[in-house]
Chain A
Amino acid sequence: MLEVSGLSLHYGQHLALDSVDVRAAPGESVVILGANGAGKSSLLKAIAGLVRPDPGTGIRLDGQSILTLPAHSVVEAGIALVPEGRGIFGDLTVEENLLLGAFARRARDDEAARRDLVYELFPRLAERRRQIASTMSGGEQQMVAIGRALMSNPDCLLLDEPSLGLAPVVVVELFQALEKVHKAGVGLIIVEQNVRISLSIADRGYLMEAGRIVGEGAAGTLIDDPAVQRAFLGMG
């Protein structure tokens, strides 16, 4: 269980997150919806240890506080982030990216089996394992990023706008892969602007606005929620 409670975050004077409460049960798939600048990325960065939240914040994984852990230790605790912009090692090959994905000690057992799984999930990566990652298409780079994160044997995978800048057909392919990852028991927290497709693989969702959580519900009810339709689907 990942529990975020009272998470506030300042960038200088600017309040990016205002006592945000979010939780995700083990293996649960949670989507966080919100416009640009709502604080979605900041939320994921805070969980991943990349930014330091204000005092009084609680971030717990299975009851243990991970609030003060440096980013590299958060990976060891079982949380892997696929950041906006992907964060892959562009100068290294696909294979080397996956090798480093399993850098954490928790990833060393069953590494070979996990690599086979990633290649099964993304056959394109298997074909191009010796290619330098930065020379690949955007969709393929996103596959490298997700594959690399999966190599760390995460309990919970954080994804920051995985669909950004990708062709619709590639987005569908990616979310089919993410659905398989979820079915294999890995928890997902996805930040997205692509509401329809992200809700389609989610169990639950949150709505964010100006650094606050303004709504929460099961994925099936959110898609029919008038507020969601107005804000994101251009209806009403």
Chain B
Amino acid sequence: MTLINVLIAGLVLGGTYALVAMGLTLQYGIARIMNLAYGETIIAAAFAAYLLQGALGVNPLLGMLLVLPGGFVFGYIVYGLMMRPLVARSQDRGNLEIDSILATFGLLFVIQGVMLVIFGSNYMSYSFLNVPVTILGANVAANRLLAFVLALTIGLTLYLLLTRTRWGTALRAVAVAPQNAPLVGIDVNRTARFAFALGGALAAAGGVVISMYQTFTATSGVVFTMKALIVVIMGGVGNLLGALSAGLILGLVETGVASYIDPGLTLAATYAIFLAILLWRPQGLFGGAGR
């Protein structure tokens, strides 16, 4: 592969990581829920896009208009049923984190089990815009290019909403100082639920984007949860632009290692970065939440 090829492939992969990580950073940074079933939401959305495309002939771009709100509603319901009781009884943030990890660990297997029953354990994929486009002399599949553009568009839109609107600022306020938010009339529980649901919508968007250019199976969710978690910590918990940049970096590193060193070392490289950040910059490359 040429350098251009590697860069483009890295950015495409990184854009996807960034997109899914932004949803997790909303759920973890604002709602304070460490959602281990996050990747399963992604895969469920990928299956939804697969079904819409295969059975109903709805292309994934239109499908997103259905799957995104679906992810929001799913997140909203999960928060109401499973998370609210945990929030109500937790005295501090540490308790809530442990409780939510245990609860969503269970949820992971429920969603995965349902998907295994319905779809089996085969790898799935469908063909959408699978035509080559030439950029700077390198051939790229149009679906990958679209995936990258979608990830960036959704990510930047979310960033602008969070930084330029009052409710977005309120979400950030709950991320940085939840104890002070009620002083200005912000209902922290409602805001947390909304942020969790928004994270679900982003997971769904990520799932649709992934299904456009990757194969996936009912059990691949955990990989995405781990990658998203690494990106979130790299970027700083609750930091959206951090997640965006860290996602792109991780995608570039993984593709670079796979192309120039050995594809078998991709995961090792990922975790080496993760370890280095935990040891030397636990607050993330770009600092904490709020920006």
Residue of A80, A81, A92, A107 near B169 (CB, 8 A) is: A92
A102 to B170: give the CA distance in the assembly, Å.
11
A84 CB to closest chain B CB, in angstroms?
12
Which residues of A pack against B, CB within 8 Å?
48-50, 70-73, 75-76, 80-81, 83, 87-92, 96, 99-104, 107, 148-149, 151-152
CB proximity of A226 to chain B, nearest CB, Å? 38
Are A100 and B289 in contact, CB atoms less than 8 angstroms apart?
no
Is A89's CB under 8 angstroms from B173's CB? yes
Cβ of A151: which chain B residues have Cβ within 8 Å of it? 184
Bound complex: CA A48 to CA B289 (Å): 27
Report whether B186 and A88 are in contact in the complex, using a CB–CB cutoff of 8 Å. Answer: no
Whether the pair A70, B182 counts as a contact (CB closer than 8 A) is: yes
Given A72-B187, A100-B173, are A89 and B180 neighbors across the interface (CB < 8 Å)?
A: yes
- A71-B182, A89-B173 are known contacts; what are 18 more A-B pairs with Cβ within 8 Å? A49-B182, A70-B187, A73-B185, A76-B185, A83-B183, A87-B177, A89-B177, A90-B176, A91-B289, A92-B176, A96-B169, A100-B166, A100-B169, A100-B173, A103-B184, A103-B185, A148-B184, A152-B185
- CB neighbours (8 Å) of A104 from chain B are 184-185
B: residues with CB less than 8 A from A are 166, 169-170, 172-173, 176-177, 179-188, 288-291
Q: Is the CB of B183 within 8 A of A75?
A: yes
Contact check, A100 vs B184: say whether CB atoms are below 8 A apart.
yes
By a CB distance below 8 angstroms, the chain A residues around B170 are 100, 103
B187 with A101: CB separation less than 8 A: no
Closest to B180 in A: A87
Q: Which A residues are CB-close (under 8 A) to B183?
A: 48, 71, 75, 80-81, 83, 87, 148-149
Instruction: Collect the chain A residues with CB atoms within 8 Å of residue B184's CB.
Output: 75, 100-101, 103-104, 148, 151-152
A124 CB to closest chain B CB (Å) equals 21
How far is B194's CA from A4's CA once the two chains are assembled, in angstroms? 35
Whether A91 contacts B187 in the complex (CB less than 8 A), given A70-B182, A100-B170, comes out as no
Q: How far, in angstroms, from A96 to B182 measured CA to CA in the complex?
A: 15
CA distance A171 to B102 in the complex (A): 50
